[in-house]
Amino acid sequence: MKRALVVGGAGFIGSHLCCALLKKGWYVVCIDNFSLGSRGNIRELLPDKNFVLYEADAAKVDAMEVIFEKERPDYVYHLAANSDIQASASNPEIEYRNTYTTTFQILSCMRKFHIPRLFFASTSAVYGDKRESVLDEHTPDLAPVSYYGAAKLGSEALISAFSYMNEMQALIFRFPNVIGPKLTHGVIFDFIYKLEKDPKCLQILGDGNQTKPYIYVSDLVGAILKFQDMRHLGVELYNVGVEGETSVTRIADIICEEMGLDSVQYHYTGGEGGWKGDVPRFHYCLDKIHKAGWVAVYSSDEAVRKTVRENISGKEDHE
Amino acid sequence: MKRALVVGGAGFIGSHLCCALLKKGWYVVCIDNFSLGSRGNIRELLPDKNFVLYEADAAKVDAMEVIFEKERPDYVYHLAANSDIQASASNPEIEYRNTYTTTFQILSCMRKFHIPRLFFASTSAVYGDKRESVLDEHTPDLAPVSYYGAAKLGSEALISAFSYMNEMQALIFRFPNVIGPKLTHGVIFDFIYKLEKDPKCLQILGDGNQTKPYIYVSDLVGAILKFQDMRHLGVELYNVGVEGETSVTRIADIICEEMGLDSVQYHYTGGEGGWKGDVPRFHYCLDKIHKAGWVAVYSSDEAVRKTVRENISGKEDHE
């Protein structure tokens, strides 16, 4: 039986990944500090005899070493990070600690206990603000404009050195926006929350033209499982994305449609980005992952609509 | 009077920079924890009324904030790092703490006290092992193979985000090997030490064909002073280098010549790199810095010979 250790396993993406690994018949060790993750996300997994939960902080190496020594995983999935870019804009220490230091300590444990396989959740934010450029995995001059992007790019650099020095295999995905059931923050989450409070008007950060690809979480988890068995040592890196992209105003429209609201007044705060450090537009080249045989099931607009349906008052989508 | 804060100012390069800034008539605040730096390096600067020394650890933000608040520098020069790649190969924690965390804490202080100008000492190690490729500032796929290179690349990413978020100007130089008086480690330092102990035979790590450009420290300091007044906000990045490159065996030959030793037996430990994580060869494209009007005075071989003369039993070179 394969043994997985999912750091950040009670988070939005982590909890979906734990579920998928259990369905494959794996033994799954979940570590979370419940800062952004929640027990609710993994409630249905707790009775599974192949699921074990540790409440621990991945930035603290002593606690992590105890778990690594006891559980000796075959695969480590590192999904622990501050995922709320807006929050860390006013406190970069959050990224230093929760995004970068967690990576360093996880890699140190892998080095110490000779764990050879890592999956790492990176981000489009490592590229910085490249506007109309089409971004592929070889795009040069990576220049993050957010502390989040900086801590993720620093983490990628650590993974490069640790995998070389310790003969590891590391799969890195640079995620776009990821959405689906159990969302904890982000534009869809915010808009639904605001419209449930006030169905007449909606404040929209920026000019509403921020336009990004949104991937549905099951598509992303499918890609992780498809590529996690690597043939070679070292780092394999993919942009992961979907067809199309969705503007913030379009998201508001879809939410209003699905909530059955009309004549909602949109109030734009103005400016290109939602906040300083926000990259208002980016375009991925997906040739590498497509040629490797993976394509997302849901387009960006489809992922948004499906997510909205699932998140309106906890309604389930069974289409 | 301009106010400079040099972190790592008692180190090899830092002490030369402090000296040059004092000569320009600046007020110079030197911070060092004396882990690799030494009081000996700055002894001649201590009587200068425009020079002030703090023994402090740049990885500890509380101590740094006190100094920033009191001294309010116009320019910060960040030269604090673990510069001994071989040492951190067996203990990556050194790089996390002394190379990456120092950068994060310095940037946090600059953010807090609104200090707008930074110089950062980066390295060829950020590129990773690209062998025969010619490396320019836009080379993609940076993939460090040492923890040192990883921590420096992570630092560059932090500088990108902090400078964007806080409207700073940051000058980054990717150094090759830097040599000159007050060397504390590295191949020249090691070979002289070994040959002073045993003038008959010399152990050489690797196959001796590791071939790199060596820059003389005064050339490097001159380039810092030339480019430190930037016109634009954001990051300006240069490869800094010299004409030619020098193999490890050639360095041994020059040292033997200068020490008046002949028939020294060379014993090679074998393998391409001196140690795991060592990049045995790299080639810089210097077009960017040359077009901006700077060229090194000393070639790589000249820098090596000059450094050897200055470091043999503390002999001064007055050529």
Q: What is the ipTM of this complex?
A: 0.95
B138 contacts A164? CB cut-off 8 A: no
Pairing of strands B75-78, B3-7: parallel
Residue B137 pLDDT > 70: yes
Most confident of A266-275, B172-181, B309-318: B172-181
Query: How far B313 CA sits from the closest chain A CA (Å)?
Result: 36
Is the pLDDT reported for residue A1 higher than 60?
yes
Residue in A141, A159, A275, A285 to test binding to B, most B beta-carbons within 10 Å? A141
**Which ranges of A118-206 would DSSP assign to H, the alpha helix?**
147-166, 187-197
d(CA A179, CA A311): 10
B167: left (phi over 0), alpha (psi -120 to 50) or beta: left
pLDDT score for A317: 44
Collect all residues of chain B within an 8 Å Cβ-Cβ radius of residue A149: 157, 161
- Average pLDDT across chain A, whole number: 94
Among all residues of chain A, which has the CA nearest to that of B139?
Answer: A140
First to last CA, chain A: 34
Query: What is the pLDDT confidence band of residue B94, given thresholds at 50, 70 and 90?
Result: very high
CA distance B133 to chain A (A): 15
Interface of A with B in 74-113 (CB under 8 A): 89, 92-93, 96, 100-101, 104, 107-108, 111
A165: nearest CB among B89, B100, B165: B89
Mark yes or no for CB contact B96/A104 under 8 Å. Answer: yes
Asked whether the beta carbons of residue B150 and residue A144 sit closer than 8 angstroms, the reply is no
Q: Is B136 on the interface with A (CB under 8 A)?
A: no
Enumerate the residues of chain B whose CB falls inside 8 A of the CB of residue A89. 165
Instruction: Kindly report, residue by residue over B97-117, the tens digit of the pLDDT.
Output: 999 999 999 999 999 999 999
Placement of tokens 């703490």 in the chain? B97
A236's enclosing H/E stretch is strand A234-239
A280 touches chain B (CB under 8 A): no
Which of B139, B156, B238, B239 would best serve as a mutation to test chain A binding (most A beta carbons within 10 A)? B156
Average pLDDT, chain B: 94
Min Cα–Cα distance to chain B from A147, Å: 6
* A199/chain B closest Cα distance in angstroms: 34
Of residues A132 and B74, more confidently modeled: B74
Whether A140 and B139 lie within 8 Å, measured CB to CB: yes
Residue A251 tokens, joined:
């998201």
- pLDDT class for A318, splitting at 50, 70, 90? very low
- With contacts defined as CB-CB under 8 Å, which chain A residues touch B235? 143
Residue B316 has pLDDT above 70, yes or no: no
- Show residues of chain B in contact with A145, CB under 8 Å: 160-161, 164-165
Overall average pLDDT of the B10-37 stretch: 97
Residue carrying structure tokens 């997302």: A296
pLDDT of residue B314: 52
pLDDT value for B312: 87
- Residue found by looking up tokens 């020069």 in the block: B77
Q: Which residues of B touch A60 (CB under 8 A)?
A: none
Residue numbers in B near A235 (CB within 8 A): 143
Q: What pLDDT score does A187 carry? A: 92
**Whether residue B220 has pLDDT greater than 80:** yes
Handedness of CA B309, B311, B313, B319 (dihedral sign): positive
Residue B210 CA to residue B202 CA, distance in Å, equals: 16
What pTM value is reported for the model?
A: 0.96
| Phi/psi of residue A153, nearest 5 degrees | -65, -40
| B180: DSSP letter | S
Is A128 near chain B, with CB under 8 Å? yes
Q: What is the mean pLDDT of residues A232-241?
A: 96
